[in-house]
């Protein structure tokens, strides 16, 4: 989580931010053809946006609203079976071009795209940018990474 030196959001600020995110999600569900569905995780400040892609048929973007920042992530693929060094070099080089997200190794060595922004920066434009970045990066880099890390399956 980011800690930019600002005080944590108040309960009222968090409630207003939740409402802003909910309104943005409603618009996405109605107007964005790539959005297959949206769910809120109970009473938590977490949402999942299910997306339809071409290179990666379906994937989910998770949003987590904390006291100071909105974090987000998407699962890209499992750990590679082969060519580990080439695979990770490929993703690290892609990190250099990404803005607002980075490739990371998560649970079970799976590959994720992750990022976060301070709560004060969360608005519709920022949310659009986040979703667009994660969608575009997954679509652009999934298939090449798959061909490196699972090359023998494409024999």
CATH number at residue 62: 3.30.1460.10
Domain contains 6:
no
Is residue 1 predicted with pLDDT exceeding 50? no
Q: Domain total for the chain? A: 1
Is residue 79 predicted with pLDDT exceeding 80? yes
Q: What is the rounded average pLDDT of the residues 11-20? A: 95
d(Cα 63, Cα 72) in Å, to the nearest integer?
Answer: 4
Domain contains 33:
yes
d(Cα 135, Cα 113) in Å, to the nearest integer?
Answer: 10
Please, what is the angle between helix 11-31 and helix 124-149, to 10°?
60
pLDDT digits (tens, 9 = 90+) for 23-40: 999 999 999 999 999 999
pLDDT digits (tens, 9 = 90+) for 42-71: 778 999 999 999 999 999 999 999 999 999
Domain contains 125:
yes
Give me the percent of the chain exceeding a pLDDT of 70: 96
Domain contains 5:
no
Domain contains 4:
no
DSSP string of 93-121, one letter each residue: HHHTT-SS-EEEE-GGG-EEEEEEEEGGG
Domain contains 27:
yes
Q: How does residue 6 score in pLDDT terms, banded at 50, 70 and 90?
A: confident
Domain that holds residue 92: 11-154
Give me the percent of the chain exceeding a pLDDT of 90: 90
Q: Measuring CA to CA, which residue among 71, 136, 138 is closest to residue 103?
A: 138
Domain contains 1:
no
């Amino acid at each position: 989580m980011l800690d930019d030196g600002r005080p944590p959001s108040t309960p009222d600020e968090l409630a207003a931010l939740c409402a802003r995110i909910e309104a943005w999600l409603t618009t996405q569900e109605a107007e964005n053809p790539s959005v297959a569905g949206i769910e809120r995780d109970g009473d938590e400040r977490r949402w999942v946006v299910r997306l339809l892609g071409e290179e990666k048929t379906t994937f989910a973007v998770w949003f987590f609203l904390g006291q100071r920042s909105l974090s987000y992530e998407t699962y890209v693929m499992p750990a590679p079976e082969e060519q580990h060094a080439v695979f990770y070099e490929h993703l690290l080089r892609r990190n250099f071009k990404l803005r607002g997200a980075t490739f990371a190794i998560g649970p079970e060595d799976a590959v994720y795209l992750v990022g976060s922004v301070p709560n004060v920066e969360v608005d519709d434009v920022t949310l659009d940018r986040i979703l667009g970045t994660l969608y575009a990066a997954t679509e652009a880099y999934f298939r090449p990474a798959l061909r490196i890390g699972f090359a023998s399956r494409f024999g």
